[in-house]
Structure 1
């Protein structure tokens, strides 16, 4: 199964350290691919019980696969389709405890059971999404959502 990573023992303190690490990692980097690649690698290393961490970038009215960590994934996702497309359409985080209960879920990896998708907005426009999948149901809670949204905010500031 998956190894449970332990850091300080306090989830919020661990996330605060992660945010500091992200800021240091992205400081001074202007290349978008490099930014997203390192951001996905850092999250994949930090989070336990996840099987996919990555980005989809909004291009020509659809989400296109960007840098990620995990098994091969869906290459393109239409506006409003699946959890990622819904996050773009609604411009809000989608936290799904059981993807099999999400109407229209796109199963890129049959092992995925829960998912969180945070939209990335730069200068008022959709840039893309951060997508994280887990092989267990109900993996993501309010604390995860709060700090992952802060994680995306740091990325948005670098993409301006």
Structure 2
């Protein structure tokens, strides 16, 4: 499916009624995981700015031990501090990478802003080397702009 088609489905999920925010986030994660062949783990982390930690939210994929990540640690922790997208074509080439699984080859993390504050991020792992393009970045920015409306 095209990213344009997925945008329509993301909008439909965000606009659902009688569904909790976490249920919507889980459904978005499932949609992305099911629809993009190289999106093997899709999840959200949310920031606690007082403790300077990220906390795992809804996700789809293999279980992870990384339920709390300090700001600055790993790709997600770096995005919490930089407020910038981070695309990692090959996780083995990253010094500050937290290995989730030996099957993960690449990762993309896009921050989630609400009222100009980075409250979290969408994190996607792939079992494929270097699959993420600028098209993925723009699509995930769109997803997060829509998700921000839930807060």
TM-score (norm 1): 0.86
Given the alignment of the two structures, is residue 150 of structure 1 paired with residue 142 of structure 2, yes or no?
A: yes
Matched residue, 1:63: 54
**After alignment, is 28-37 or 141-150 more displaced?**
28-37
Residues 1-20 of structure 1 mapped to structure 2, 5 A cutoff: 7=1, 14-20=2-8
Residue 75 of structure 1 corresponds to which residue in structure 2? Answer: 67
1:42 aligns with 2:28: no
Structure 2 length-normalised TM: 0.91
1:107 aligns with 2:94: no
CA distance in 2, matches of 1:32, 1:127: 15
Tell me, yes or no, if the aligned pair for 2:46 and 2:119 is still in contact at 8 Å.
Answer: yes
Structure 1 runs of 4+ with >4 Å offset: none
User: Structure 2 unaligned runs (5+)?
Assistant: none
- CA RMSD in angstroms comes to 1.4
Number of equivalences: 147
Q: Is the 8 A contact 2:32 2:39 kept in 1?
A: no
Find the partner of 1:32 among 1, 4, 21: 21
